[in-house]
Amino acid sequence: MAIATENSTILALRQSLCSEATPLSVRFRALFSLKHLARQSATPEESLAAINAIAAAFSSPSALLKHELAYCLGQTGNNAAIPHLTAVLEDLQEDPMCRHEAAEALGALGAADSLDILKRFRDRVGEEVVVTETCEIAIDRIEWENSEQRKRERLRQSDFASVDPAPPMPQESESTVEELEKALLDTSLPLFRRYRAMFGLRNLASPPDLPTAVPAVHALAKGFADSSALFRHEIAFVFGQLSHPASIPALTAALSDLEEASMVRHEAAEALGSLGDEEGVEETLKRFLDDKEAVVRESVVVALDMAEYERSNEAEYALIPQVTA
């Protein structure tokens, strides 16, 4: 069993991440650096130290930061993150956005041992809808990951390094934009199946010069009309991955809708941050620096930092110069 070993870089990143005095944009860069170290460290001990450093920041009052911590732990591919994520999901006093992200992260890690807790909160009476829906998708993902069906499916190599809540449709049943849009918008289908259509459309929109790219973006944008805030937030997340200019009108509309769920608006803000070098995007984001929702205000701060990065010559958003120097 690995024992956590903190080197000076992990310790410095942990201090930046956990300090409430540190600007949020710097804390996010520290977090993404720790996620990288958790995945790429030379030893299991250093990977565990990076995971523990990320989890230490769950004491923060920022729901935005904590939700991002959970996401990053799910992306590490390391089951040492499971106890931390389980604790967040079980904490009924925690923000539902954070609990949802913890459930999604457990799905991303794909351990069959997580099925019991996910089923418990999927079926819990009075549970937040966003948590119920996320647990449903995470269960389906884990069952798919460990199924004979998974072994038979051939998936197209994605342009994106993320572990997604659902895989795209398999190559043997690849569909057109129109067919995937139909599945995406079909509310009679399980969410997991609709998510597979969503990530299939994402793949048809990358690289951005594909002839299917703009039609796929427009198809995805129709998902913003769905009744599920979870579903709408995932559309915004996909747009952040794609960074396609054709998504700007839909993202701007989502951020500008003050009646929209904050988890959707915050994701739209961060997606716009990935398009920060496009005309008018920075001005749009600045309009929401004083938004009534803290998670939106904080997302705009992070998005503007991302936009600054997009205009710079920095090689990697995640790295903090004063730590890596």
Which tokens hold the place of 193? 């199946």
Three-state secondary structure string covering 101-119: HHHHHHHHHCCHHHHHHHH
Cβ atoms of 106 and 86 closer than 8 Å:
yes
Alpha-carbon torsion 42, 44, 45, 46, what sign?
positive
Rounded CA separation 266/245 (Å): 18
| Neighbour count for residue 30 (Cβ, 10 Å) | 26
How remote is the C-alpha of 116 from its chain's centroid?
23
Rounded CA separation 50/300 (Å): 27
Which tokens hold the place of 225? 């009309």
Alpha helices in the chain (DSSP H): 8-18, 24-40, 44-56, 63-75, 82-90, 96-109, 115-122, 129-145, 148-152, 177-184, 191-204, 213-221, 229-242, 248-256, 262-273, 281-286, 294-311, 321-324
Residue 234 in marked binding region: yes
Residue 174 in marked binding region: no
Residue 101 in marked binding region: yes
Residue 36 in marked binding region: no
Residue 67 in marked binding region: yes
Residue 310 in marked binding region: no
First-last CA distance in the chain: 32
Distances (CA, A) of 155 to 167, 171, 175, 213, 221: 8, 5, 13, 19, 24
Annotated binding site: 67-68, 100-101, 233-234, 266-267
Annotated binding site for Fe cation: 67-68, 100-101, 233-234, 266-267
